[in-house]
Amino acid sequence: MKRTASLLLSVLSLTVPSFAAAQTLPQAVRERIIKATVMLLPATEDGKLDGSRGSGTIISPEGFILTNYHVVGDNEARRLAPWVQVRTVRFVDEEPQPTYWGKVIAGDPFLDLAVVQIVEDKDEKPVGKLNLPFMQIGDSNRLTIGDPIYVFGFQGTGGMTLSYSAGSVAGFTGEDLSSGGRQWIKHDAQTGPGNSGGGAYNTDGDLIGVHSAGIAGQNNSRTSFMRPLSVAWGLITPNVPKFAVRSGTSTASTATNTGGAQAQTRGTTAGTGPAPTPRSDATGTLSWPLRGQSGQTWTMQYPEVGRISVTLTGTNAEGTPTGTATLPNGAKWSALFFAGTSSAAAKLAVSDGKAALFCAVDRAGLSGLNARGTALYIEDLNRSNGGDEVGDCTLQLQSGPGTTGSTTGTSGSLGSLLGQGGTAPSSAGLAWPLKGAVGQSWSVQLPQLGRLTVKLDGTTSTGNPKGTATLPDGTKWTAVLSYDTKADDTAMMVSDGDSLIYCLVTRSGLSGTTARGTAYYLKDLDSEDDPDKLGDCSFQLQGAAGAGTSGTGTAGTGTSTPTRLAWPLKPQVGQAWQVQIPELGLVTVSLTGRDDQGDPKGTATLPDGTKWTAYFYHEAAKNTTWLDILDGRGSMVYCAFTAQGLSGTGARGSAYYVKDVNAKEDPAKIGECSAQLK
């Protein structure tokens, strides 16, 4: 440790939070939550407040706020407020101040959740690009009864200042608040009416719920209910850019969405996010080396996608088990199970021929019939760079032959196995000794701090690469990557010159482009005290392992995903779109033919699997592109897109509802909609 302290004393310059007992949040975490908690007041078209108010949480630095639908609209009438005033906290002992105006861009009255985007400042001037404090999202499915939770919001009791309360998870219940399920989480934190829409947090300071309601019981009892974040993915994923997700526990990796619908380009419905590990009908335990076999059925739990069912039915020419993967939205992909070896992880890969999802596990991840590992994502197999780490994943053997058979498939080239270019992820990314280099960019996951971005742009006096670490709230620290020859270990360190947090890894912690190790905290670099162990940590090389570039095709061909859409937007037969629509949720639209006027038509698959008819076409006379979705019984929901709504491979527009297409009545506007070309 003394070599670590002496190395950093002259180069590190910011504050490191203290780490308190598990039953309270560290002060630095509380301060970050306070900055990201806002009061929301719905208003009319001319900006007149309607008198109600609620709370919300900023979940993206670009000003996207998660709240309740009933805070910004009328659930029964399916009407949303034209404007929402956003008030922020300057001082905790003062009422929040009007700071911005926002628009509701997505909402689900059945889930009672909505997303508000900040678009204007308090003087009604466009805000431009924002960089606001925001909260990262945790895994609500890991909560169990008795876990502590912390609720922030403007409850209205004792004035309009911000309130904080602590409590515990009291239980779980289904949608009807009486049956079994995890659609609602019961808790006993003190809340009031103004808490609606506010955030509930776990001991890591991750947003895991939205407080939504309180019900009075007998003898002055009261039960509060929050929506778990696991049910919010259908709203967040296609509509919120640059949100951050901590998958799994406080030591898991963080996946960040860098575009409004990036997560949907994986060809899946976001569904309900991470889910509990399913039960298995198989018996026994998995053994190493882990090898899949024809006849087996597996489930793969993948971040932001959910549970994927894989059935292995044969082998390819190289002896690798192959089969079919069924995604939560019913889509069928190809599956390959690469055997583990003494030096390489076992990998279950599923692909649609363009992109691929991997779950890579090693010997240490085996437990009974489960195997826990790292989720990797390749956006374009023709430009494969080994895959981006996007969180944790779980494999579970459901049924079929034992796991120690003679199948000997190798990781080889995934692209060639699927008829594409590119290679599968391998453990050959980072090399030992790990010393780092100037010019590299790293994604670092540390307990309590979350995901940091480290850019190395210089060297210390001893020749170690150093640079800047950017925390989730935008705070800048200084970082050093140091390899110790005698100890044969590498430390990724961030500190303020007085305190220090570092991730220490050894040779065995390397896997692909990721290094996993143990995190430590030293309160005072000048002291002789031993550092405190915080838990697991990881850092991943971003330069060589960053996202692949998108294709160069143009909209309209239906054969390749373009770098951006062009106007006029004229959808084509053969294309598939992910569409977020109020009332319906996330809908997959596949254009498979043309109507009698020559316009593209196809099938719209709703989240529950229901099939509706879709027409997606451009009307030159109105310079508008329309997406009509009909249920076949006379009702229709449609989206209207204009040139101003195009951004990258996505389009934003207005959504309308027509109860009876044969009736002469004006359509009802139900909010904003978005479409993303897959």
**Interval 196-229: pLDDT, tens:** 999 999 988 999 999 998 776 655 556 889 999 8
CA–CA dist 353, 414 (Å, integer): 10
CA–CA dist 653, 326 (Å, integer): 31
CA–CA dist 223, 422 (Å, integer): 54
CA–CA dist 543, 436 (Å, integer): 11
Are 341 and 270 in contact, with CB atoms under 8 Å apart? no
Residue among 260, 241, 273, 254 nearest 472 (CA): 254
Quick check: 331 pLDDT over 80? no
Tell me how far the alpha carbon of residue 579 is from its chain's centroid. 18
| pLDDT of the residue at 622 | 82
Are 416 and 318 in contact, with CB atoms under 8 Å apart? no
Coil/strand/helix, residue 590: strand
Quick check: 320 pLDDT over 50? yes
Per-residue pLDDT tens over the stretch 563-609: 467 788 888 888 888 888 877 778 889 988 888 778 889 999 887 77
Mean pLDDT throughout 252-261? 41
- How do strand 611-619 and strand 600-605 relate by DSSP bridges? antiparallel
| pLDDT of the residue at 100 | 95
Q: What is the phi/psi pair of residue 264, to 5°?
A: -75, -15
CA–CA dist 590, 558 (Å, integer): 11
Coil/strand/helix, residue 230: helix
| pLDDT of the residue at 428 | 36
Quick check: 398 pLDDT over 50? yes
Domains of the chain plus CATH, in order, are 27-121 (2.40.10.10), 140-234 (2.40.10.10), 268-417 (2.40.128.30), 430-541 (2.40.128.30), 576-677 (2.40.128)
Query: Which band of pLDDT confidence, cut at 50, 70 and 90, is reported for residue 518?
Result: confident
Per-residue pLDDT tens over the stretch 446-466: 877 777 889 988 888 888 899
Are 567 and 643 in contact, with CB atoms under 8 Å apart? yes
Are 102 and 4 in contact, with CB atoms under 8 Å apart? no
Coil/strand/helix, residue 233: helix
CA–CA dist 501, 248 (Å, integer): 21
Concatenating the DSSP letter of every residue in 497-516 gives SS-EEEEEE-GGGEETTEEE
Quick check: 248 pLDDT over 80? no
| pLDDT of the residue at 17 | 35
CA–CA dist 639, 588 (Å, integer): 14
548 vs 486, higher pLDDT:
486
Helices (H), 176-334: 233-239
How many residues does this entry show for the chain? 678
Quick check: 534 pLDDT over 70? yes
Separate counts of helices (H) and strands (E) for the chain: 5, 42
Per-residue pLDDT tens over the stretch 634-668: 788 999 998 878 776 778 888 888 887 777 677 88
Distance linking the first and last C-alpha atoms of the chain: 50
Query: Which band of pLDDT confidence, cut at 50, 70 and 90, is reported for residue 625?
Result: very high
Are 551 and 380 in contact, with CB atoms under 8 Å apart? yes
| pLDDT of the residue at 663 | 73
| pLDDT of the residue at 226 | 92
**Can you list the pairs that 256-259 forms with residues at least 24 positions away whose Cβ atoms lie under 8 Å?**
256/451, 258/547, 259/648, 259/650
Reduced 3-state DSSP string for 331-400: CEEEEEEECCCCCCCEEEEEECCCCEEEEEECHHHEECCEEEEEEEEECCHHHCCCCEEEEEEEEEEEEC
Say which amino acid occupies 26.
Answer: P
Residue among 259, 346, 344 nearest 300 (CA): 346
| pLDDT of the residue at 216 | 66
Percent residues over pLDDT 90 in the chain: 22
The dihedral built from the CA positions of residue 430, 274, 356 and 361, taken in this order, carries a sign that is positive
Helices (H), 461-548: none
Lowest mean pLDDT among 9-13, 401-405, 516-520, 605-609: 9-13
HSE-up of residue 278 (Cα within 13 Å, Cβ side): 18
255 vs 546, higher pLDDT:
255
| pLDDT of the residue at 333 | 83
CA–CA dist 188, 196 (Å, integer): 15
Per-residue pLDDT tens over the stretch 471-512: 877 788 889 999 888 888 899 999 877 778 899 998 877 766
Q: In DSSP terms, which residues pair with 235 in a beta bridge?
A: none
Quick check: 552 pLDDT over 50? no
pTM of the model: 0.41
Per-residue pLDDT tens over the stretch 18-54: 333 335 788 888 999 999 999 999 999 888 898 889 9
Task: Determine if residue 86 is left, alpha or beta; phi over 0 gives left, psi from -120 to 50 gives alpha, anything else beta.
Answer: beta
Residue among 662, 666, 652 nearest 105 (CA): 652
| pLDDT of the residue at 512 | 66
What element of type H or E holds 414?
helix 414-417
Are 554 and 565 in contact, with CB atoms under 8 Å apart? no
